[in-house]
Structure 1
């Protein structure tokens, strides 16, 4: 990986971390994970396996630092790593449409569903859930999936425009 791509990944994760820090805890201490949008953008801009692992690990650690979910530190790391690897495979298979708006929205929706499901499942087995799985899924994961579509599309366009204006080549 080149340094420029690593720096962009770090900057995007730092911005996502600040947003995550400002997001209040909701039902059962679970947060609306808008940080995922920045993870998805990192994967779309630099679809390499090394970047997927790096983004998943750093994203999981940063989320673990800001979690309000009881015992949610380890489930955050697990869910980000698994989500990044799955999305890396999907992006690699569909690389020819990775800049398509529908595909970017699809990645945001699917990635949030995967992340939320893995998080809740791993939390259930590691520390237990403060509310029923279905309730947390319906009230946190599904609304966050919809919000992440919009957030990812907007931020992805801003990042792409910025890269184009500065003349930075990522392809």
Structure 2
């Protein structure tokens, strides 16, 4: 992997961390997970397995450092690494599909996967969840996935437009 790719991925993850920290809750305490959104943008730009591993590890560490979920450090690291690998695989196999449809769809699926893995690992690590799995999935994971789908689509469009401008200069 080229140093340029590693720096770009790390930059996206750092931006995601800052946005994640400063974003207030939007609906019923839920907010877009900008770490995941920027992870997905980094993977859309470079879906190589090594980049997915790097982005997943960095995202997992950042999420673990900022989690408010009791015992959420290990689940955050696990879910980010797994999600990054699965999403990168989906992106590599979905090339050629319109980004207007593909980016939000992959973000929706990726965020749903991330939330599912997080809840399952949290249940294994802590032995319990604050509420039943189906309740947390339908009230937190699915709405967050919907918000993330929109946010990732917007961020990806901005990054691609910025890249086009930068190449012209």
- TM-score normalised by L of structure 1: 0.89
Aligned to 2:121: 122
In 2, Cα distance between the equivalents of 1:110 and 1:5? 24
In 2, Cα distance between the equivalents of 1:49 and 1:40? 13
Which deviates more, 15-24 or 56-65? 15-24
> How much does 1:101 deviate?
1.1
In 1, Cα distance between the equivalents of 2:102 and 2:162? 20
In 1, Cα distance between the equivalents of 2:47 and 2:113? 18
> How much does 1:34 deviate?
3.1
Count of aligned positions? 165
Identify unmatched segments of 5+ residues in structure 1. none
Which deviates more, 3-12 or 110-119? 3-12
Check conservation: 1:20, 1:63, Cα contact below 8 A: no
Aligned to 1:155: 155
Residue 87 of structure 2 corresponds to residue 69 of structure 1:
no
Check conservation: 2:31, 2:144, Cα contact below 8 A: no
In 2, Cα distance between the equivalents of 1:32 and 1:162? 22
Aligned to 1:96: 96
Task: Please tell me the root mean square deviation across aligned C-alpha atoms, in Å.
Answer: 2.0
Q: Provide closer, same or farther for how the CA distance between residues 65 and 24 of structure 1 changes in structure 2, counting only shifts above 3 A.
A: farther
Check conservation: 2:30, 2:144, Cα contact below 8 A: no
In 2, Cα distance between the equivalents of 1:155 and 1:82? 22
Check conservation: 1:72, 1:123, Cα contact below 8 A: yes
> How much does 1:23 deviate?
4.5
In 2, Cα distance between the equivalents of 1:133 and 1:25? 22
Aligned to 1:113: 112
In 2, Cα distance between the equivalents of 1:71 and 1:157? 35
> How much does 1:31 deviate?
6.8
Identify unmatched segments of 5+ residues in structure 2. none
